Structure 1
Amino acid sequence: MRLRSTATAMALALVAFQAPAWADIEAAKAFLDAEIGDMSVLDRAGQEAEMQWFIDAAKPYAGMEIKVVSETIGTHEYESKVLAPAFTAITGIKVTHDLIGEGDVVEKLQTQMQTSENIYDAYINDSDLIGTHWRYQQARNLTDWMAGEGAAVTNPGLDLADFIGTSFTTGPDGKLYQLPDQQFANLYWFRYDWFNDQKTKDDFKAKYGYDLGVPVNWSAYEDIAEFFTGRDMSYAGGPATGVYGNMDYGKKDPSLGWRYTDAWMSMAGMGDKGEPNGLPVDEWGVRVDENSRPVGSCVTRGGATNDAAAVYAVTKAIEWLQKYS
């Protein structure tokens, strides 16, 4: 039996990606030993009770097939290779989790929305598609689904507050359309040992007039990049030559486009302030109208992708790559 659904986001995620289990409680115990251990907030009895809930809730759906797709990254490889087979074993519902390129995920999602052909039952896609899901209304909104049609298969132990970033997957109507599955973080990588070396700290303060530490603004980042580039760090266990003060993307890749627009430019001040996104101009530099519809990204159309902050951000990125990388 094939499960047919118009869901094009994470509508089936509550069923397919909660804590997996096996066909009987003894196998579930083995799974808990191998994969969960002491990483759960539930004690062992609570974990086993949750496994039993999956066994019982899935009985009416044995024999169904669910097809899921995501891009190929480590998080989703684990879901495909470990969680999907485990879910199949407990429920008798066959879950096939395909791993494809990020662009291919978007292409198949668009094709499904345009043709109404059910290519996949659930998609793991970027939360940036929240506007698409809200406007097209082809993805199940999870708020209503969990309270209505999907209530019987919604884990009673599910706590949405455990998910980081639900504000990014909630539409303008206040409904949850996707569950955050994994996230990318913007990190500042630095040599902790060098930053705490006394000679290094003294030399930095003598040159710049303030203490060396993780930068809190762009000028401090530039000072640190300049300070370390070409510096002999052999006294602190580092190399005498070949030290650089900046590390950034240095290889041509399509993803650079959105890495800059959704992070680097907004860090320089592009867009309006707001949580989770600035309004009316978000962190991508895209302006939306009073109905949350995008109307433009360039300055002439009310956007910000080529405003002063965006130009400054890109200019500095190129300059730092040339000088300090």
Structure 2
Amino acid sequence: MNYKLKSTTAALLILAGPAFADMDAARAFLDEEIGDMSSLTREEQEAEMQFFVDAAQPFQGMDIKVVSETITTHEYESQVLAPAFTAITGINVTHDLIGEGDVVEKLQTQMQSGENIYDAYVNDSDLIGTHWRYQQVRNLTDWMANEGADVTNPGLDLDDFIGTAFTSAPDGKLYQLPTQQFANLYWFRYDWFNDEKNKADFQEKYGYELGVPVNWSAYEDIAEFFTGRDLSHMGVDGEVFGNMDYGKKDPSLGWRYTDAWLSMAGAGSKGEPNGLPVDEWGIRVNENSQPVGSCVARGGATNGPAAVYAVTKAIEWLEKYTPPAAAGMTFSEAGPIPAQGNVAQQMFWYTAFTADTVKPGLPVMNEDGTPKWRMAPSPHGVYWEEGTKIGYQDVGSWTLMKSTPEDRAKAAWLYAQFVTSKTVDVKKSHVGLTFIRDSSINHESFTERADKLGGLVEFYRSPARVAWSPTGTNVPDYPKLAQLWWQNIGDAMSGAKTPQEALDALCADQERVMERLERAGIQGDIGPKLNEEKDPQEWLAMEGSPKAKLDNEDEEPKTVSYDELIKSWQ
């Protein structure tokens, strides 16, 4: 089965040009690119394409520009779906691909200047709290019911999207439309864990079975066991490591921690999709969803015992069980390392790497096309409680700015719906492996392909997936606050500060930004309203987050059989 993009299709459609902005181009696209890779029948596909042909009539010949970060899914949208959309509708789309930080920068510039730089953005739902409070993006609930009603696909089927809880605000409105999602899960060498010698040696040394770690204590034992282990009996050459991470003082270091690291340790409150009143950043909100503090002295948890434990463990594992070069790596540099074949496990591995980790010929692939590795739920730290978020899910989502003129926003909204439509989504999901629709996850083609994807399909079909979520609405200004994390965590990573000192500085920095927002009053009655400071012990003595320091942070290690875990999901 060919899951790669067919560049010939894109070329044919470009040659056809806007003159073919009708159902002939749509049928050619369905024949050449989609086939039976859709959750819709051919008749239903043609009906959906007819909607786009008809709705686009007022915008024939219009040139629009949209932007996203550069990942495989968006490359497919830009290189195949954009020219197809142009040929079908007569709307000329330029879909730019730039770095994630650059996308946010362009968005910020448009928010601040009011100048229409792009007609639509694929912007992470991590900014949902920002968009809700600043009210500079169109809320899609009202848009679809009013101005955008004539360009809203009757077959959009919002209930089929798995990520709309992440792109909705406390006011109940939808602000962004998901176009790709990926989670950070636990990654491990299934073949090494099932080797009889490794299992026997681990049992003898630690007194329990080698398996998927349920908690950080077990993860640490496994990291220690494999680091420096001789695996020549399995044909593995070179030094072996029990952990993979990265530590360079770089913006991507912030992602490691804003992306749920503290909640995995157990720092936040219980709640789905995010902890309330204290979220995974350690920011506390009141009953009106106003941020009231980040430091423990104001009821936050960014510098609390669980957060200090989380950062301390990450540094310890980086120093003891990780390739030495990793301390100087960024996110993108560290990403490919597990696929090179000498890493036993990774706590925090993004499923967006799946496509690049199942390529034929890699040391982590079998000759029959199945992987030697698997992905599983992330283990949790000693402060974690059932009902607390346990991992991060990235949700890149179409976002329409209010500063975009209405006709351009309508044309861009048509494109956003085209690339997320049921007609194209199964095929797009096979190319990028970043699921957004239930109907795609459950398509028979993924049942057939599941054994080649290392547990990705099983995870997304499981009830476990709801405990993985993006940054929530407690964060009042993601771009301003996110840049504080990598600088402060970087000080802890380099040894310039202890984890406690770094997190004290981080929460103070976050509160300074929130204090400025409060004084400016630009977010109205849903903006920050900081609590008065009081003795941190008063907050730590209360039930819930922030949580008091435990006398013993080494809990009894626990593992589970991967195969039994998968059965429990099914």
Tell me the TM-score normalized by structure 2.
0.51
Q: Could you say which residue in structure 2 is the equivalent of 1:321?
A: 318
| Pairing 1:242–2:239 present | yes
Q: For each residue in 1:217-248, what CA deviation from the matched residue of structure 2 results, as whole angstroms up to 9, or x when unmatched?
A: 00010011111111111222323x51111111
Cα deviation for residue 250 of structure 1 reads 4.5
| Pairing 1:57–2:79 present | no
Indicate the percent of aligned positions where both proteins have the same amino acid. Answer: 82
Q: 1:221 aligns with which of 202, 211, 219?
A: 219
Distance in 2, matches of 1:283 and 1:33, equals 46
Query: Counterpart of 2:93 in 1: which secondary structure?
Result: strand
Query: Counterpart of 1:272 in 2: which secondary structure?
Result: coil
Q: Structure 1 residues 130 and 312 mapped into 2: Cα distance closer, same or farther (>3 Å)?
A: same
Matched ranges for 1:27-38 at <5 A = 27-38=25-36
Q: Could you say which residue in structure 1 is the equivalent of 2:251?
A: 254
Is the Cα contact below 8 Å between 2:25 and 2:87 reproduced in 1?
no
After the TM superposition, list the runs of 4 or more consecutive aligned residues in structure 1 that deviate by more than 4 angstroms: none
- Between 1:212-221 and 1:286-295, the stretch displaced more is 286-295
Q: 1:186 aligns with which of 184, 187, 192?
A: 184
Question: Whose RCO is larger (CA < 8 A, sep 6+)?
Answer: 2
- Which letter does structure 2 place at the counterpart of 1:54? F
Q: Could you say which residue in structure 2 is the equivalent of 1:9?
A: none
| Pairing 1:263–2:263 present | no
Q: Structure 1 residues 143 and 59 mapped into 2: Cα distance closer, same or farther (>3 Å)?
A: same
Q: 2:203 aligns with which of 185, 202, 205?
A: 205
CA RMSD of aligned residues (A): 1.9
Cα deviation for residue 104 of structure 1 reads 2.4
Task: Tell me the number of residue pairs that the alignment of Structure 1 and Structure 2 aligns.
Answer: 304
Is the Cα contact below 8 Å between 1:261 and 1:285 reproduced in 2?
no
Distance in 2, matches of 1:78 and 1:292, equals 38
Q: Could you say which residue in structure 1 is the equivalent of 2:340?
A: none
Structure 1's unaligned 5+ residue stretches are 1-20
Query: Counterpart of 1:167 in 2: which secondary structure?
Result: coil
- Which letter does structure 1 place at the counterpart of 2:311? V
Q: Structure 1 residues 224 and 72 mapped into 2: Cα distance closer, same or farther (>3 Å)?
A: same
Query: Counterpart of 2:184 in 1: which secondary structure?
Result: coil
Distance in 1, matches of 2:188 and 2:281, equals 27
Q: Could you say which residue in structure 1 is the equivalent of 2:11?
A: none
- Between 1:183-192 and 1:314-323, the stretch displaced more is 183-192
Q: 1:45 aligns with which of 31, 37, 43?
A: 43
Q: Could you say which residue in structure 2 is the equivalent of 1:285?
A: 282
Structure 2's unaligned 5+ residue stretches are 1-17, 323-570
Cα deviation for residue 194 of structure 1 reads 1.2
Distance in 2, matches of 1:57 and 1:225, equals 56
Query: Counterpart of 2:255 in 1: which secondary structure?
Result: helix
Distance in 1, matches of 2:166 and 2:83, equals 29
Is the Cα contact below 8 Å between 1:261 and 1:305 reproduced in 2?
no
- Between 1:128-137 and 1:283-292, the stretch displaced more is 283-292
Q: Could you say which residue in structure 2 is the equivalent of 1:310?
A: 307
Matched ranges for 1:85-124 at <5 A = 85-124=83-122
Q: Could you say which residue in structure 1 is the equivalent of 2:231?
A: 233
Distance in 2, matches of 1:31 and 1:74, equals 20
Q: For each residue in 1:117-142, what CA deviation from the matched residue of structure 2 results, as whole angstroms up to 9, or x when unmatched?
A: 22222111111111121112221111
Tell me the TM-score normalized by structure 1.
0.87
- Which letter does structure 1 place at the counterpart of 2:310? A
